[in-house]
Chain A
C-alpha cells in the first residue's frame, strides 16, 4: 500500500495563479482532510470530507476549494494564489463512517511545499 500520496512535492506560483494540489489514498478511507502547516501555528484544518460528494469547511477555508468525486481522491484548489498561502500542505485520511470518525487517528501524506511569489 502506498498510503496517502500527495503531488506535487514542491511548487512555486506567482500571485494570482491557480493550481490544484492532488491527494490520493489507497486504504478505502472515508474521511479525508487538508491541513496547512506554518511555523509556530501547528496544523490548521482547511477543508474535510466524510465521503464522496460530502465536504465541509475547516478552520481556514478562505481561498481554497475542494471536491470529492471518488473515495480515493481529494484535490485542493487554490483559486487565485496569494503570498499568505505560502505554506506546507498536508493531506490526511482515516477510516470510519457516520459518527465513528472521532475514534480513528489520521494517516498523513508527506506534504506539498508551496511558495507564492
Chain B
C-alpha cells in the first residue's frame, strides 16, 4: 500500500463548478501538508501549505486537513479553464527531510 493515495482522474468539470480533490495517507507522523499545481511540461508550483489539522483559505482555494481520518482535500471555487492542470498532494513529517507525493489528479475545466 502506498503511503499517499490520490485518484489520478481525469476529472472534468464545467467552468464555474466547485472542484474537490482529495488524498488519503497512512503515516500518522505527517504534519505538513501541501498542494502543488503542475501545468503540462512544467514543474510543480506550490498552491497551498498547511500544518496539522484545520482549514486554510487563499482566494478561490481552500485546503482542509483531517488528521483523525488521515484525509486531506483541496477545494477550488468558481473553477476556470486556467485551473486545468495536474494537482499533486504532498506531505512530510516533523523533522523529516523527505516529502511524499501523491500520484496527482488531472483536472480539466471546460469553458
Number of interface residues of A (CB under 8 A): 28
Q: Decide if B98 is an interface residue (CB 8 Å cutoff).
A: yes
Number of A-B contacts (CB under 8 A): 61
How many of chain B's residues touch chain A, expressed as a range? 20 to 34
Question: CB distance B51 to A48 under 8 Å?
Answer: no
Q: Give the nearest-CB partner of B6 in chain A.
A: A42
Question: CB distance B103 to A40 under 8 Å?
Answer: yes
Question: CB distance B97 to A43 under 8 Å?
Answer: no
B46: chain A residues at CB < 8 Å are: 105-107
The interface of chain A, by Cβ under 8 A from chain B, is 4, 31, 33, 35, 40-45, 48, 50, 56, 58-59, 90, 92, 99, 101-103, 105-111
Q: Can you list 6 A-B pairs, Cβ within 8 angstroms, ordered by A?
A: A50-B97, A102-B95, A102-B96, A102-B97, A103-B32, A106-B99
